[in-house]
A and B are shown apart, each in its own frame.
Chain A
Amino acid sequence: MTKDEGRFEIRLSGSGGQGLMLAGKLLAEAASVYDGKNTVQTQSYGPEARGGKSKTDIVISTEDIDYPKATSVDVLLAMTQVSADEYRRSLKEGGLFVVDSYLVDNAGLDSAIGIPFTLLAIEQCGRALFANVVALGAVVELSKAVEWDSLEKTVVARVPSGTEEANKRALAVGREAARRATGKVS
């Protein structure tokens, strides 16, 4: 995986209401506003307000981006079993596959890194709704898709006022969990 040349594709997938569209927006903004790359983010979801399949693709490139969706995914995050089963096929060979092991049975997904994002959010951040930001911290730590500093700046700038510290903590929880999962405990 190279982050400096050509096209880099990230797919965040799960269920409506898990906050993946917001996570995608944050990633896109970190990549373009702070890292200075070209970015396109697209989304796909059903007509339901909550539930139903939901995914967002973020394409980051130093060059012009014509095709706006992912075709050969470098990084796949799956926050539900259904999305893990469906989108694993889109992952390119050697790509990074991360699942929420609290919600996804990753026994059959041998290449996947399992981290219990939703459980970590409940236990260490106090609420399940931080799961998206915890996952974002882990995905960026594992993929280096954007600079950590850029991600933190974006999150602080974009989350509701008064929740900045809680969200920064959620990012850090994700980062730590990613380091533990790959044996790189700091």
Chain B
Amino acid sequence: MREGATRRVRSSRRRGRPVSAAGAWALRLGLFVFCAFPLYWMVVSSFKVSHELLAAPPTLVPHEWDLRAYRKLFLETNFWTYFQNTVIVAAITTVIVIVAGVIGAYGLTRYAFPGRTLVARLTLLAYMFPPIIMLVPLFLLAREFGLTNSLLGLALTYISFALPYALWILRAFFQSIPVELEHAALVDGANRAQALAYIVMPLALPGIIATAIFTFIVAWNDFLFALVLIGKDDLKTLAIGINDFFHMAVVDWGLIMAAGVMVTIPALVFFVAVQRYLIAGWGAGGVKG
């Protein structure tokens, strides 16, 4: 009876193999096309000459490759300024959030004090807050303190949703590092700072890097707060600068796609370079958005 069942299972597995292998590859291909085709289309559109861009039917591979859109992007728009502004804002946000977040998450996981559970729950709640519910108050407060049209002001508003997120994720990372390792180091005669520098930090580093990247991306991607807080053209970030391309007399799709490529490349390079850290971070909750 049992043997019969086992044999049945085996034979059905063997029979199913070539079909299911082909099916599995079809599914993988489907996933690939779904994710990659829009990006492929962005890239080829950015290299087409104007008349080919608007040709019907559209050409899947450009007949003629052309850098017109990129020349226009760098020579006739403020793209480079927007790029620098975005890097500055994202860097300020990331530094503040990671320094405060690492110290805070360490304190939260390694020392017992009254109200600790409450703090952890409030952090989780704040992590869920979407940016739109802080739109009006942060705008009014920024105006009150003269922080509109200021890259620092923009970075400070990003703290409002990046820090709770970072605290929550870092807390999970520090929790996963056994306290016993630190205790062992202390027993062996190390002091607390040494235990932190030589035991905890190396283990926590992947998590810290992943969190830093996510924080950077949150700031890099924001559209809403840049839209309401920045009006001066030379202070605009990429999101609102590229948005302005849409308000030109004639919408230049080649230009917009070229801008898309130029914004995506740094993210891509970053992403490939640190992919193994990213997987660790994803497992702990993923980026907010």
Do A and B interact? no
